[in-house]
Amino acid sequence: MSEIKILLMDGSKIELKKGATLYDAALKISPRLGKEALAGIVNGEKKDLNHLLKNNDKIEIITFDSPEGKEIFHHSSSHIMAQAVKELFPEAKFAIGPAIKDGFYYDFEINRPFTPEDLIAIENKMKDIVEKNLPFKKVEIKKQEAEKFFNEKDAVYKLELLKDIADDEVSLYQQGDFIDLCRGPHIPSTKKVKAFKLLSVAGAYWRGNEKNKMLQRIYGISFHKKSALEQYLKLKEEAKRRDHRKIGKELGLFSFHDEGVGFPFFHPKGMVLRNILEDYWKEEHKKDGYAEVRTPIMLNKSLWIQSGHWDHYKENMYFTKIDDEDYAIKPMNCPGGILVYKCGLHSYRDLPLRWGELGLVHRHELSGVLHGLFRVRCFTQDDAHIFMTPKHIKEEIEKVIDLTDRIYKTFGFEYRVELSTKPENAMGSDEIWEKATSSLEETLIKKKINYKINEGDGAFYGPKIDFHLEDCLGRNWQCGTIQIDFNMPEKFDLFYINKEGQKERPVMLHRTVLGSIERFIGILIENYAGAFPLWLAPVQVKLLPIADRHIKFGIKIAKLLEKYNVRVEFDKMNDKIGAKIRKAEMEKIPYMLIFGDKEIEKEIVAVRKRGKGDLGKVKLEKFIKGILKEIKEKALD
């Protein structure tokens, strides 16, 4: 019996009988991998498990644990859902059913929206299909034949999709009697889908174009084991409870209005939070030798042409006219900062210059993707540009990493780092890129920071480090970034005077720590579920007199607390004390001070702490001393 050699990713080899499939390979590697295998990569191409292997093929087995595995799994689940819909609604027409970041969807044309009852019926039908353990079979046919096939079924959307395929041959996938146009690969059979749930229905235009027909999109999620679905749904429920849009409204922090879609309005309490955040940001940056600049929101078209934004970023920009000249609302702060740099002559002795700018930028986002403070059309970038000599690069990167680390830790966030390297359309020589990338990498290594490399994902002007912080639900948010830029200094002819009295190009560093102040506030709200640490809380202490006659004493306490810059609110309503406490708890205020006849007589207060309840009675001075310490330390609770 002849054998074939198969290369594995770790460099090792296995031997298999001729005619062996990817599945056989997985099984040979380990029985467990055979059980978990969903598909594979053969010489760089994704294939089904029943793909026949050839001598010297290089393979990788895909399981649910990898992003590719999840994608194949979710995409296969969308086929199962489509099969169920076909059985229940034979009149439905099928559009597309891809995997998405979190699950899958399928778009159907049907004459009425799906109801929650429909979703349950579809889920039940899907259970039958899964139980039947139907294999996913790939059928490769001529494009013409496929056209004939879908024509007979009047599958208008599939016919449209076929038109876009340049190849002569196309593939169909079949499970049971359901056949779909699909590139694949798929999981071996329906029974791999151990747990799934249909989550919601939404209208979606065919190909995202509002001139086309509105289709019905069903979203779903699926997993390789039951417990994973349970965990997912629990997390989703918790995320819903923490939704910053809901909490922001309840706590009176911000709002959105039809009069400015995607433009947030900050309310008094939201501004308190925002100002604390910005003050803290300024303080930390001052410690690190940053100065601040502020540049205009609108600038002349000529500047944006010079910066390259006009050519590369126009789609996302807003425009206006002043005195018949074209202006753009800034989508980024860099060109403004560069004009400030160009105002004076800079000696090598003055560098590095670290200029921070809390700059309000506007970027056009499609209305469909807007999402509370997470995705808006205007936001404040906590930007800074560092102008320096090449000699400074490493030290400055290190300083920014330290600053970022310090700031994230203050909020209790862990984070991970990604390094993005030269993209295909990059500007500048390989040598410069090499140097810049290794500067970033060496600094990460020196600081013993683990990082993941994103090959080819850098900005067109330079490589970058991204910081992804992790919230208490384990969700990741890309916030900070450090980008090395050799390109802008070139485009704007920036220079400094070196030791020899000659002009030399500075290197520019673009960086943010929080990313967007608005988005960061959204993340903080969800992370703390609105229960901000004392130093951030818009209202820190609430005064709760037991009866009206105690209000006078309350005024005295309020004045004293305000003297120490403690943010106080006074509940003077004529409610029972229990009701007042419940209200303050709903408002997630860190401390409540309760006082009646006995307390006033002894000049003490009864203290309640959010989440901890009654802390007993203390002298007011002692309470103040305690919270001032907590505020100063920025304690997390």
How far apart CA 35 and CA 26 sit, in angstroms, is: 8
Segment 150-209, which members bind Zn ion (CB under 5 A)?
182
Nearest approach, Cβ of residue 156 and Zn ion (Å): 18
Q: Could you give the angle at the alpha carbon of 296 between the alpha carbons of 293 and 302, nearest 5°?
A: 120
**Is the Cβ of residue 310 or residue 570 nearer to Zn ion in the bound state?**
310
Shortest reach from residue 340's CB to Zn ion, in Å: 12
Which residue, 511 or 519, is less far from Zn ion as judged by CB? 511
- Residues 275 to 334: which contact Zn ion by CB under 5 A? 334
Residue with Cβ nearer Zn ion (461 or 520):
461
Amino acid sitting at position 479: C
Residue 187 or residue 531: which is nearer to Zn ion going by CB? 187
Per-residue tokens: 373: 């403070």
Q: Which helix (H) or strand (E) element contains residue 68? A: helix 67-88
- Least Cβ distance, residue 58 to Zn ion (angstroms): 25
Distance CA 72, CA 79 (A): 11
Q: Is the dihedral of CA 151, 153, 159, 162 positive or negative?
A: negative
Alpha carbon separation from 338 to 316, 346, 423, 460, 514 (Å, rounded): 21, 13, 24, 18, 22
Contact 334, 488 (CB under 8 A): yes
Burial 293-316 (b: 16+ CB within 10 A, else e): bebeeebeeebbebbbbbeebeee
Site string for Zn ion, 332-351 (x = CB under 5 A): --x-----------------
Cα of 272 vs its chain's centroid, Å: 25
Cβ proximity to Zn ion: between 304 and 532 the closer is 304
Q: Do the Cβ atoms of 76 and 121 come closer than 8 Å?
A: no
Q: Minimum Å distance from CB 137 to Zn ion? A: 12
Residue number with CB closer to Zn ion (362 or 580):
362
* In 376-419, alpha helices (H): 393-410
Tell me whether the omega of the peptide bond preceding residue 352 falls within 30 degrees of 0, making it cis.
yes
Peptide bond into 185 cis (omega under 30): yes
CB of 337 to Zn ion, least distance (A): 7
> What is d(CA 542, CA 237) in angstroms, rounded to the nearest whole number?
30
- How far the first Cα of the chain sits from its last, in Å, is 69
Q: Which is nearer to Zn ion, 334 or 521 (CB)?
A: 334
Sign of CA dihedral 452, 453, 457, 460: positive
Nearer to Zn ion, 182 or 393 (CB): 182
Catalytic residue set: 334, 363, 381, 383, 385, 464, 510
Instruction: Give the interface segment with Zn ion, choosing from 59-67, 366-374, 502-510, 590-598 (CB under 5 A).
Output: 502-510
Query: Considering CB under 5 A, how many residues would be counted as binding Zn ion?
Result: 3
Residue keyed to tokens 């979203």: 219
Please, which of residues 507-546 interact with Zn ion by CB under 5 A?
A: 510
Structure tokens at 37: 């295998």
In the bound state, the residue with its beta carbon closest to Zn ion is: 182
**Residue 241 CB, nearest approach to Zn ion (Å):** 35
Q: Which two tokens stand for residue 131?
A: 């139980």
Q: For residue 139, what are the β-bridge partners? A: 172
Q: How far is the CB of 148 from Zn ion (least distance, A)?
A: 20
- Minimum CB separation of residue 331 from Zn ion in Å reads 11
Q: Which stretch binds Zn ion (CB under 5 A): 15-23, 214-222, 282-290, 504-512?
A: 504-512
CB atoms within 10 A of CB 578: 8
Q: Looking at the chain, how many residues does it have?
A: 637
Residues that bind Zn ion (CB under 5 A): 182, 334, 510
